Structure 1
Amino acid sequence: MSYTVNASILLTELPILERPAAVKAAGFDAVEFWWPFAEATPAQDEVDAFVAAIRDAGVQLTGLNFFAGDMPGGDRGLVSWIGREDEFRANVDVVVSIGERLGTKAFNALYGNRIEGADPQAQDDLAVQNLALAGAAVAKIGGIVLLEPVSGMDAYPLKTAADALAIIDRVKVEHGVDNVTLLADFYHLAVNGDDVAAVIAEHAAEFGHIQIADAPGRGEPGTGELPLGQWIADAQAGGYEGVIGLEYKATQADPFAWLNQPANTSN
């Protein structure tokens, strides 16, 4: 099994720039991050420090989120946020620059919440345009854009795989951009009531990325009731060839202790 550690939700006791080295020290060679800066267009020295932290640690940055707004405050992306188009598009340039420097190929574009008073159709139309723009931009460095159903926010409209796949299909049909793909986070899909086994059976070969956490609780595999090991095996049998993103909340001092208990991933 090839894992990549999401160092935005794990190892949070450390400053961000120390987390890549901690990932390496824990025995992993790959790391992924949500947007690690406070702004959509951070200062160049901040970007350089982040790139240096990844390189110095000797890990591969396998995934990076686009700027998603104030995540602690409840924001979940700018893709469909009417009025912040310029901010998102400026962020795309920064993301591509980082990806080019670090050889990163997968970029997660959180869709954004429904905005009170805004027309949902207009938001979706903007999202399709922004995803097409982002897809074309990262294609220049051999990248893909990930689109993710998310739980925990009623205002976030993409809750099932079908919701995301409908938008992905629009991007392809309306703009001819075919490198926007589904991020199958098994935790989010399960919590939202999706039929995860059916999604895997029908779409595994199309997944751009898989992330895992157990439910309930979003803890390590084995702390909940999800058959994560079986789902991963089924996805791989169905054609998924990528890494597995560890995107869970640590419930014990060693957040990776479960890896010494393989049976826990197939409960």
Structure 2
Amino acid sequence: MPRRYAVNCSILFTEFPLLERAAAARDAGFEAVEFWWPWPEAPVPSEREIDAFCQSIEDAGVRHVGLNFYAGDMPAGERGVLSHPARATEFRESVGVLARIAERTGVRAFNALYGQRLDGVAASEQDRVATRNLAFAARTVAAFGGTVLVEPLARGLNGAYPLETAADAIAVLRRVDEPNVKFLFDAFHLASNGDDLEEAVRAHAADIGHVQIADAPGRGAPGTGDIDFAALFRALDEAGYDGWTALEYKPDGPTEFGWMKEWPA
């Protein structure tokens, strides 16, 4: 089936300022974009910042298909505040901001990074906090048809992040038990941690809410590593996945898409 590619403008088109990236994606021929949380220093940015971000997407005329919840200071190494007992207020405040962005841009898929394990805090307590926050987020975005996504991350690159495999993410989904909490299938992270991508698709097809791709190792464009993307795409097609496939790789130099000649949209 035809593949629908979206561009993650927090990792691609970084040669442009943030507010010019949606237009850059449009000019490169894409009709959809996604972003990480655009303000790593704050769960509640200013009204001016929110408006400028939304306006940049509206002016570009592209679809906004994915957005992260506030995840702490990612450039400094944080990977989410969802499970941090002392930061539940920050996460929940960001949910309100996200809902306002969704009203403006139409985005409906939201990635909630789980957060790293904390010294001196029991893993069971962090999991309890994460479950409550995910349920809160799920109920909030359900009001406008939104989906919350849960994502494993590559071992060794993201601190003490506890979700590494498809099975880890699915266990969180089962614990939260909300119908609009889904699995974010990221080929790079899963392959880096040893998951068989085709088997993961077959085993968890009903729970996959979004797909992101980069090659592994290296997180470069498809074709720069060892992932068999032809086999992965075939498995996704056979599983009936018809959502967006988001490009979330690190380009070697300026953003370009020559690899798509082999796997076109």
Q: What TM-score do you get using the length of structure 2 for normalisation?
A: 0.95
List aligned pairs for 1:207-246, cutoff 5 A: 207-246=208-247
| Rounded Cα–Cα distance in structure 1 between residues aligned with 2:263 and 2:135 | 40
List aligned pairs for 1:117-156, cutoff 5 A: 117-151=120-154, 152-156=157-161
| Rounded Cα–Cα distance in structure 2 between residues aligned with 1:44 and 1:209 | 29
User: 1:64 maps to which residue?
Assistant: 67
| Rounded Cα–Cα distance in structure 1 between residues aligned with 2:253 and 2:48 | 35
Residue 9 of structure 2, aligned match among 7, 10, 33:
7
**2:182 maps to amino acid:** T
| Rounded Cα–Cα distance in structure 2 between residues aligned with 1:189 and 1:222 | 17
**1:72 maps to amino acid:** P
Worse overlay, 244-253 or 40-49: 244-253
| Rounded Cα–Cα distance in structure 1 between residues aligned with 2:237 and 2:22 | 27
List aligned pairs for 1:169-208, cutoff 5 A: 169-172=174-177, 177-208=178-209
User: 1:96 maps to which residue?
Assistant: 99
**Tell me, what secondary structure is at the counterpart of 1:10?**
coil
Task: Tell me the alpha carbon deviations over residues 35-68 of structure 1, each in whole angstroms, 9 at most, x when there is no partner.
Answer: 0113100001100000000000010110000010
The structure with higher relative contact order (CA 8 Å, sep 6+) is 2
Question: Which residues of structure 1 form unaligned runs of 5+?
Answer: none
- Aligned-residue offset at 1:153: 2.1
Over 6 Å off, 4+ runs: none
Q: Check the 8 A contact 1:204/1:236 in 2, yes or no.
A: no
**Tell me, what secondary structure is at the counterpart of 2:182?**
strand
| Rounded Cα–Cα distance in structure 2 between residues aligned with 1:235 and 1:73 | 34
Q: Check the 8 A contact 2:151/2:163 in 1, yes or no.
A: yes
Task: Tell me the alpha carbon deviations over residues 143-166 of structure 1, each in whole angstroms, 9 at most, x when there is no partner.
Answer: 000000001224000000111111
Residue 84 of structure 1, aligned match among 84, 87, 93:
87
Worse overlay, 194-203 or 74-83: 194-203
User: 1:256 maps to which residue?
Assistant: 257
- How many residue pairs get matched? 260
User: 2:26 maps to which residue?
Assistant: 24
| Rounded Cα–Cα distance in structure 2 between residues aligned with 1:229 and 1:65 | 28
Q: Check the 8 A contact 2:110/2:147 in 1, yes or no.
A: yes
- Aligned-residue offset at 1:228: 1.7
Q: Check the 8 A contact 1:206/1:240 in 2, yes or no.
A: no
- Aligned-residue offset at 1:6: 0.2
Q: Check the 8 A contact 2:111/2:149 in 1, yes or no.
A: yes
| Rounded Cα–Cα distance in structure 2 between residues aligned with 1:96 and 1:27 | 28
What RMSD in Å do the two structures reach over aligned CA positions? 1.3
- Aligned-residue offset at 1:255: 2.2
**1:222 maps to amino acid:** G
Q: Check the 8 A contact 2:150/2:169 in 1, yes or no.
A: yes
| Rounded Cα–Cα distance in structure 2 between residues aligned with 1:136 and 1:190 | 31
| Rounded Cα–Cα distance in structure 2 between residues aligned with 1:219 and 1:133 | 35
Q: Matched residues, percent identical?
A: 50
**Tell me, what secondary structure is at the counterpart of 1:115?**
coil
| Rounded Cα–Cα distance in structure 2 between residues aligned with 1:229 and 1:22 | 27
Task: Tell me the alpha carbon deviations over residues 80-130 of structure 1, each in whole angstroms, 9 at most, x when there is no partner.
Answer: 011001110010000011112111110000000001111100000000000
| Rounded Cα–Cα distance in structure 1 between residues aligned with 2:203 and 2:64 | 29
* 1:159 matched to 2:164: yes
Worse overlay, 249-258 or 222-231: 249-258
